[in-house]
Chains A and B, each alone.
Chain A
C-alpha cells in the first residue's frame, strides 16, 4: 500500500522567506509526527498530532515554526522568516493510533535549503 508521502522533495529558499512543507500520512493513521534531521544526526522531534490537535509541540524550536492538520489527515509544517540554520531534512511520520510504542512509519523527507 501507499506509504507516507511528502512534498516537495527539495525546497530551496532565501533567508527571510516563508515556506510550507506538506505531509500525506498513511491512510487511516490517526497520529502524525514531524521531525527534523540535520546532516550526520538522528531525527529530532518537532511536533505530534493526534487527529486534528497538536498533542505535543514541545520540539518546535521557536514561534517561527507552526504546523496544522485541519482535517486529521494531511499536515502542513510552516516556517516563517527562514534562517540558514533551518536548513535540514524535514521528516514526517504517521502511526495507526498514536498510543504508547505505536510504530511510526516515515516518509522520504523534504530537504530544505535556506540560502
Chain B
C-alpha cells in the first residue's frame, strides 16, 4: 500500500511565477491536510479538504494561495505570483476519517519550494 505521494519533491520558481504542488493521499483516504514549514520553524496548518470540498482554510494566506481536491486526481496546492517568502517545505497529510474520531494523519515526504 503506497504511502502519501507528493510531487514534485523540489520545485524552483522565479518571483511572479505560479507553483503547483500535488498530493496523492493513501488509498482509501478521502481527507487531506496541507501544512507549511518555513525555515527553522515547525509545521503550520494551512487547509483541510475532503473530496470536492474545502472544510477549513483558516491557515491559508488570504491572497495568492488556493487548494482543491477534485473527485478524481490528486489534491493541488496552488500559489500564484510567488514571492521569496513563499520558500518553504509544504507537507500533505491524509487520513481515513476526520469527524468525531482521532485519526492518525499520514504524511508525505514534502515539496521543497525555492523562489529565486
Say if A and B assemble together.
no
Instruction: Mark A residues whose CB is within 8 Å of B.
Output: none
Instruction: Mark B residues whose CB is within 8 Å of A.
Output: none
